[in-house]
Amino acid sequence: MSELNLAWQWRAARGLLEVPSAIRVFHGTGEGSGDLQYFAVDRFNDHYWVTQWDHPGVTTVREQSQRKAIIAFLRDRGAQSIVGLDRPQRGVAPQAEAWWGEAPDSPISVSEGTLNFWIRLRETRHPGLFLDHLPLRHWLISHAKGLRVLNTFAYTGSLSVAAAIGGAESVTTLDLSKPSIQWAQENFELNRLAGTQYRFIAGDVFEWLPRLKKTNGSFDCVILDPPSFSHGNKGNFSTAKDLAKLHALALDLLAPEGFLVTSINSANVSWQKFEGDLLSAAKEKRIELQILRAMDLPETFPTRLGSGGDRYLKGWILRRVS
Ligand SMILES: C[S@@+](CC[C@H](N)C(=O)[O-])C[C@H]1O[C@@H](n2cnc3c(N)ncnc32)[C@H](O)[C@@H]1O
């Protein structure tokens, strides 16, 4: 377990583990070797969420021994409970299962710097917070002041919370899933954010972007973070086929000088194809966009030099310049 320990010590030396909070404590892709590279460990206060990716050649015996070693390591560091999510190579993962201890029945509140979020550890496939979007939340905290923000594909609204804490004039949070929108509202309450400037919509992006254009006009910051595939009210969506269409709809809503934040996590869409799709939407709308920064993983998700594909987030923060 020396790799787990090295990862832990590195974070501890930077003060990242002093406050109970939400953080990736081990990113096997860049910090593990052998079977350990297929594990990731996320800490939520003193509760842990371990993701294990199925991989060719692994045996039950090897898997069990890695699990035991991880459990022992985390127990030594004060874990109150550990849940594990098995990610199959294909298809949908089953819900996370208890590996050790009793995960709380109710959601727990965790902090990420000045932001607070509700996390669920039971009967779920995801705890509710994408830790890899930490740099984007930081950017929103420092840039959202005075902006009218539209956060689409919002899930539990973590980017909306960051924008609101950053002083956004208004934040509209849109997601297809009603339970996610409900969770986003609870995250706003947790952060003591209330008021009519915060709007929540359970609906399909392809239905609502044109509708918002008619009713709201424009936004100063539009955030797009779609899944690779989805089945919405308006039919199926895939990042492989529909990025140009999605960006054209989003650009219709983008105010002059506004920010477009666009992010995907799709191995089958290259940076080049993504840029081509975005550019064709911008040309169609006669809009010029300036790249301010490229999307990237936080330093708690290190990868190895030479394994470029492991830096799986793609996208940009752009500014409309004409
Ligand atoms: C990758 S998650 C977004 C994560 C989020 N940006 C965050 O940082 O927490 C994708 C979300 O898109 C939502 N979604 C999928 N298809 C949609 C659609 N057609 N319209 C609106 N939301 C959709 C899903 O319900 C899911 O919550």
Task: Spell out the domain ranges in the chain.
Answer: 2-104, 131-320
Give dist(CA 78, CA 70) in Å, integer: 13
Beta bridge partners of 80: none
CB of 187 closer than 6 A to ligand 1? no
| Ligand 1 in reach of 182 Cβ (< 6 A) | no
Q: Name, in order, each residue with C-beta under 8 angstroms of 317's C-beta and a sequence gap of 6 or more.
A: 136, 139, 259, 260, 261, 291, 292, 293, 295
Helices (H) and strands (E) in the chain, counts: 9, 16
Atom 1 in ligand 1: residue holding the nearest Cα:
227
Could you tell me the pTM of the whole model? 0.97
Phi-psi region of 176 (alpha: psi -120 to 50; beta: other; left: phi over 0): alpha
CATH of domain 131-320: 3.40.50.150
Mind listing the pLDDT tens digit of every residue in the chain (322 residues)? 599 999 999 999 999 998 879 999 999 999 999 989 999 999 999 999 999 998 877 778 888 889 999 999 999 999 999 999 998 877 787 899 999 999 999 999 999 999 999 999 999 999 999 999 999 999 999 999 999 999 999 999 999 999 999 999 999 999 999 999 999 999 999 999 999 999 999 999 999 999 999 998 899 999 999 999 999 888 899 999 999 999 999 999 999 999 999 999 999 999 999 999 999 999 999 999 999 999 999 999 999 999 999 999 999 999 999 8
- Under CATH, what is the fold of the domain 2-104? Transcription Regulator spoIIAA (3.30.750)
Q: Is the CB of 117 under 6 A from ligand 1?
A: no
